[in-house]
Amino acid sequence: MSILAKLRCITVDVTGTLMAYKGELGDYYCMAAKAIGLPCPDYKRVHDGFKLAYTDMVKKHPCFGHAEKMPNIVWWKSCVRNSFVKAGYDFDEETFEKIFRRIYSTFGSSAPYTVFPDSQPFLRWLRTQGVTVGIVSNAEYRYPDGSEWDFGVFSGLEGVEKPDPKIYKIALERAGNVAPEEVLHIGDSMRKDYVPAKSVGMHALLLDRFKTPDAENWKKSGATVLPDLVAAREWLTSEHLTC
């Protein structure tokens, strides 16, 4: 019997699993600055500044300010401002507002993202197999196109984020209180996807789309690691495999 025959639900991570960012963060910050006549900010400084600012915001206002009912735009405005400040760019309020509006609008569109070519075919195939499909993501809002899945669990809406196992328990409830042993989670992070999903009794597998050095350690620890969703489909329909 294949693994798929034992499953009633499959949940999937988004970034790194179904889609990825195009280019670099600096590309979009540069375009926003140049659009209002400013020089392009230094890519490395902006990237490093963003990592520091984002980490600070996550600590001070987790789950995109869910507990404080902080508007999404306010959370990101503070994060982007601090990114520039930490990178050494302290714009006046009017200038920053113009830059931020362009950045916020860009990341609210499909422009910075690319969907892996195997993502939609895989999700559509799962639906034809009678499997409930869910999204489990550390995102602040529901993705606009939910036609390929049955439910979504998003950290910004739930107030809990990966790697907290609670987000996977919420997914089990959304799937119709399905038993964890009848659910598989697919993601690209050992810490955020594999370990917490397994901790609540779900099956799990990891995708290594970018050939990360960590993948060898994942395999040594006993995790199933596959290169893409084409391989995942083959694995799901193979006989006598375990997860």
Q: Which sequence spans correspond to the domains of the chain?
A: 4-20+116-237, 23-107
pLDDT at 1: 83
Buried b or exposed e, range 141-170, using 16+ CB within 10 angstroms: eebeeeebbbbbbbbbbbebbbbbbebbbb
CA 206 from centroid of its chain's CA atoms:
14
Determine the CATH number of domain 4-20+116-237. Answer: 3.40.50.1000
Which of 193, 191, 197, 190 lies closest to 175 in space, CA to CA?
197
Buried b or exposed e, range 199-238, using 16+ CB within 10 angstroms: ebebbbbbbbeeebeebeebeeeebbbbebbeebbebbee
Percent of the residues in the chain that have a pLDDT greater than 90, as a whole number: 89
Q: Report how far residue 97's alpha carbon sits from residue 238's, in angstroms, rounded to the nearest whole number.
A: 54
CATH topology agreement for domains 4-20+116-237 and 23-107: no
Indicate the range of 25-29, 145-149, 164-168 predicted with least confidence: 145-149
Residue with tokens 């779900």: 202
Backbone angles phi, psi at 154, to 5 degrees: -120, 130
The C-alpha torsion from 146 through 150 and 153 to 157, rounded to 10°, is 60
Largest CA distance in the chain: 64
pLDDT at 240 over 90: no
pLDDT at 96: 97
pLDDT at 104 over 70: yes
Indicate the range of 37-41, 142-146, 223-227 predicted with least confidence: 142-146
DSSP state of 195: H
Determine the 3-state secondary structure of 154 from DSSP. strand
Determine the CATH number of domain 23-107. Answer: 1.10.150.720
Q: Report how far residue 33's alpha carbon sits from residue 41's, in angstroms, rounded to the nearest whole number.
A: 7
pLDDT at 195: 98
CA 130 from centroid of its chain's CA atoms:
25
In the chain, count of helices (H) and strands (E)? 11, 8
| Close Cβ partners of 63 (under 8 Å, ≥ 6 residues apart) | 140, 155, 156, 158, 159, 160, 161
pLDDT at 33: 96
Q: Report how far residue 235's alpha carbon sits from residue 201's, in angstroms, rounded to the nearest whole number.
A: 20
The pairing of beta strand 203-207 with beta strand 19-21: unpaired
Q: 68-74 long-range CB contacts below 8 Å, 24 or more apart?
A: 72/140, 72/141, 72/156, 73/104
Which of 196, 182, 238 lies closest to 1 in space, CA to CA?
238
Percent of the residues in the chain that have a pLDDT greater than 70, as a whole number: 96
**Which contiguous run of DSSP H or E holds residue 211?**
none
